[in-house]
């Protein structure tokens, strides 16, 4: 996602990128209509699209986390409502889905997956996403936004581990370094006696928030690997429309699951009181929830847009950058305490990011050389 610091922020970055490291799903002459159109853009138009998607990703992700923390700070206390808004604005994704033409090429599989199989996969993934979002909501309830963001960085380490076991991704020295450094960074946050939570949060609640966020990061990384496996083994293709369709369908299921949780838990009964007692007023309460939902989907559009306008590697780099921006934004907005341990943890996280991204760069360069060599051989064979 993620990942991105959140599953709805960068859910498909590593899915698309890791698939590039393996055998290509599409044959070399099966370019999507959208990719061909992007190639025909003028230079200034291309740069405009790149800049627009970067803004969508960075602003969307940082705003969503900050608004989520603001909801709790001003008196919001419904974990299921905080979970619901993370996917509720998924209909916004229909806009880029209809604006960007779909690929004209069918799946490379001789037999397309049945509706029943797709529905089962999307239902399972959607329910898991809802559970993952719930864990993130618990974490943000009991942690400061900056601490929450730093713990979320461990998703890259978890992703490397799950990709090794599920997707057969190689475990290189750089990836191992990333896993170790990010794990140590999270451990520093865990043992830091001066780690700050929101006002009034007890140490026991802080531990629950830490464990919840760590578990959410692990579950999110597992989702990435399972979705990558779905693209490789079931869908057999990865185009702009197919990726968005999966995100829309799983978000629909996750939203419905969150609504069921909201009513089953009885938290819906407290929503009117929450709105009346919200620190900035009832209108601000509604606007906070609405714009939190919108921010997550704006981030999603930026993630997918960068993948297909530039590359999955570039989208991963920008999402990684947002992991560093969010704690800084949290310090500015909420005046979170950044003691020495948290600063060291953030620097270690950046070190882990750099190792991870550099390994991705090496893999991407190798994949490009392989594709170029294959294309050259194909052209030579056709000329003979």
Q: Which token pair is 141?
A: 């309830």
Q: Decide: 228 and 165 in contact? Cβ < 8 Å.
A: no
Q: What pTM, to 2 d.p., does this model score?
A: 0.79
Rounded CA separation 64/298 (Å):
10
Give residue-wise pLDDT tens across range 153-178.
Answer: 788 778 778 888 887 777 788 878 87
Rounded CA separation 380/133 (Å):
51
Q: Tell me the pLDDT band of 110, cut-offs 50, 70 and 90.
A: low
Q: Decide: 336 and 145 in contact? Cβ < 8 Å.
A: yes
DSSP state of 40: T
Helix 240-264, helix 282-309: angle, nearest 10 = 150
Tell the burial category of 312 from Cβ atoms under 10 Å away from its Cβ (0-12, 13-18, 19+).
buried
Supply the pLDDT for residue 26.
36
**Domain positions in the chain:** 47-102+112-363
Give residue-wise pLDDT tens across range 274-321.
Answer: 999 999 999 999 999 999 999 999 988 887 777 677 765 566 667 766
Tell the burial category of 33 from Cβ atoms under 10 Å away from its Cβ (0-12, 13-18, 19+).
middle
DSSP state of 234: I
More reliable by pLDDT, 189 or 136? 136
Q: Over the Cα atoms of the chain, what is R_g?
A: 21
Rounded CA separation 281/275 (Å):
7
Arithmetic mean of pLDDT over the chain: 79
Cα angle, residue 80 at apex, residues 78 and 86 outer, rounded to 5°:
110
Asked which of 36-40, 278-282, 331-335 is least confident by mean pLDDT, the reply is 36-40
Residue 247 predicted with pLDDT over 80: yes
Residue 357 predicted with pLDDT over 80: no
Rounded CA separation 150/221 (Å):
16
Rounded CA separation 58/375 (Å):
36
Supply the pLDDT for residue 35.
52
Q: Decide: 129 and 250 in contact? Cβ < 8 Å.
A: yes
Q: Tell me the pLDDT band of 30, cut-offs 50, 70 and 90.
A: very low
Supply the pLDDT for residue 311.
62
Rounded CA separation 264/162 (Å):
33
């Amino acid at each position: 996602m993620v990942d991105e610091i959140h599953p709805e922020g960068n859910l498909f970055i590593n899915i698309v990128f890791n698939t590039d490291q393996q055998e290509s799903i599409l044959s070399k002459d099966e370019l999507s209509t959208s990719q061909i159109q992007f190639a025909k853009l003028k230079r200034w138009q291309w740069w405009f699209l790149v800049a627009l998607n970067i803004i969508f990703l960075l602003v969307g992700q940082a705003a969503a986390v900050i608004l989520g923390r603001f909801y709790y700070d001003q008196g919001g206390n419904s974990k299921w409502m905080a979970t619901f808004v993370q996917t509720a604005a998924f209909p916004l994704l229909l806009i880029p889905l209809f604006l960007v033409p779909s690929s004209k090429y069918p799946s490379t599989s001789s037999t397309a997956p049945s509706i029943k199989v797709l529905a089962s996969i999307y239902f399972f993934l959607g329910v898991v996403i809802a559970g993952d979002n719930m864990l993130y909501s618990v974490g943000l309830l009991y942690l400061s936004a900056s601490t929450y963001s730093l713990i979320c960085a461990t998703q890259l380490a978890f992703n490397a581990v799950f990709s090794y076991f599920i997707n057969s991704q190689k475990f290189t020295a750089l990836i191992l370094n990333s896993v170790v450094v990010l794990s140590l960074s999270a451990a520093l946050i865990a043992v830091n006696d001066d780690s700050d939570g929101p006002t009034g949060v007890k140490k026991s609640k802080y531990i629950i928030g830490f464990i919840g966020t760590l578990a959410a990061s692990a579950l999110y990384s597992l989702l990435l690997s399972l979705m990558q496996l779905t693209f490789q083994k079931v869908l057999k293709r990865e185009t702009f429309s197919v990726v968005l369709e999966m995100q829309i369908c799983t978000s629909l299921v996750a939203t419905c699951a969150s609504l069921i949780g909201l009513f089953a838990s009885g938290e819906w009964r407290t929503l009117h009181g929450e709105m009346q007692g919200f620190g900035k007023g009832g209108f601000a309460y509604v606007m906070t929830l609405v714009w939190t939902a919108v921010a997550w989907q704006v981030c999603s559009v930026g993630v997918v847009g960068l993948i297909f306008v530039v590359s999955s590697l570039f989208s991963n780099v920008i999402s990684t950058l947002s992991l560093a921006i969010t704690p800084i934004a949290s310090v500015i907005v909420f005046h979170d305490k950044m003691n020495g341990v948290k600063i060291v943890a953030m620097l270690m996280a950046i070190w882990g990011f750099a190792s991870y991204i550099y390994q991705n760069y090496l893999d991407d360069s190798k994949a490009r050389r392989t594709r170029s060599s294959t294309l050259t051989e194909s052209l030579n064979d056709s000329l003979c």
